[in-house]
């Protein structure tokens, strides 16, 4: 069983920045790929970014390219999402997710096996 706990959300003005963190309790024998998703009220859960086990391969949604940076520290079992130049349309609950195959860069929710409880990000205009 994998447990994921997100932190770092909050209220920020447009143009501001936030850093989200996801702490994972994982089986050390399994190399997980990790992803961030977000879900706004009344909308589907959308892909934000993914990073495979080694950290060498990363993929971003077009809407966040150049503004968001995903990273991981396997020694601490953490995954981060640095967000700059935030826009009101970035407002959502942000979720961290893990998939047991560390080589993949899943871009849909059904490609992930474990989820955190989410952290709210609100960007005011």
List, edge to edge, every strand of the sheet that includes 78-83.
3-7, 18-25, 78-83, 68-73
Q: State the pLDDT at residue 26.
A: 76
Q: State the pLDDT at residue 31.
A: 87
Q: State the pLDDT at residue 34.
A: 95
d(CA 2, CA 11): 28
Q: State the pLDDT at residue 113.
A: 94
Query: Mind listing the pLDDT tens digit for each residue in 6-19?
Result: 999 999 999 999 99
Q: State the pLDDT at residue 29.
A: 64
Q: State the pLDDT at residue 21.
A: 97
Using 70 as the pLDDT threshold, list the residues of the chain that sit under it: 28-29
Q: State the pLDDT at residue 119.
A: 98
Question: DSSP label at 110?
Answer: G
Give residue for tokens 């349309």: 89
Q: State the pLDDT at residue 1.
A: 78
d(CA 90, CA 5): 20
């Amino acid at each position: 069983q994998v447990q994921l706990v997100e932190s770092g959300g909050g209220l920020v003005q447009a143009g501001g920045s936030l850093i989200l963190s996801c702490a994972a309790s994982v089986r050390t024998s399994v190399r997980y790929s990790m992803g961030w998703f977000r879900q706004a009220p009344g909308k589907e859960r959308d892909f934000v970014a993914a990073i495979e086990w080694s950290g060498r391969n990363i993929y971003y949604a077009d809407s966040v390219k150049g503004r968001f940076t995903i990273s991981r520290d396997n020694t601490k079992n953490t995954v981060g999402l640095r967000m700059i130049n935030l826009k009101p349309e970035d407002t959502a609950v942000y979720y961290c997710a893990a998939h047991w195959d560390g080589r993949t860069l899943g871009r849909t929710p059904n490609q992930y096996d474990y989820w955190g409880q989410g952290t709210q990000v609100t960007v005011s205009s």
